[in-house]
Amino acid sequence: MEAKVEQWGLLKWVLAHVFCQLFTPGFSQQLFINEVQSSNVSTLFDFRDETSDWLEIYNAGDQGVNLQGYGLSDVDSLPMKWVFPQMLLPSKSHLLVFASGLDIKEPGLQWETIIDVGDSWHYHVPVSAMPEAWQKPGFDLLDWKSGMSGFGYGDNDDSTQIPATIPCLSARISPFPTRQISDRPICISTTMMASWLISTARKWHGQV
């Protein structure tokens, strides 16, 4: 989300509310400007890879708050320079707003790593055709080795060294060891040439 205000250099931030009658008095007391960066050089980048100033709003209450009618401004005489659209900020949640000078009121996209460099994988060097079931959850990995990605040889940048002579490597990770993405079993498997490096797999989703 990006507010139609410019760089807010001197921390002249205003969080105002237009239609007070729409909300109970407690709502105005549970929203806080939790953090401000007025000279963002390299800390956070927006979707345009720009480093606009930004602020973070925190809902400290036990109820979600509809932000419609709340405003942000860098001008004391114009407190409602940029007004939020209808959107719910859940209880105990944060909202990041860039002061980009643009008027972007849709929630931004977030990259979320589901497999990261350094995760522990099971891997196997096949000497014959792999059984079809090896790519399915629940496959017996008792005879497989384990190691951290990346996998490779010869260039001294791999966490798990493998022989240079093998034609291929089978590897799988199940479940994700460090991130709880789902409450159901997940299995990701791949067959790769021996010199390949397992990197990151990412997904994106909209999030306030």
Please give the mean pLDDT across all residues of the chain: 66
Separation of alpha carbons 161 and 39, rounded Å: 44
Residues 22-60 pLDDT 10s: 333 345 568 888 877 666 666 666 666 666 677 888 888
Q: Which residue has the higher pLDDT, 29 or 68?
A: 68
pLDDT at 83 (0 to 100): 82
pLDDT tens digits, one per residue of 119-154: 888 888 877 888 888 877 778 888 888 888 888 888
- Residue 114 vs residues 156, 158, 177: alpha-carbon distances, Å: 25, 20, 10
Q: Is the Cβ–Cβ distance between 20 and 26 less than 8 Å?
A: no
> If you average pLDDT over residues 179-203, what whole number do you get?
38
The residue ranges of every structural domain in the chain are 14-107, 112-206
Q: Is the pLDDT score of 165 beyond 80? A: no
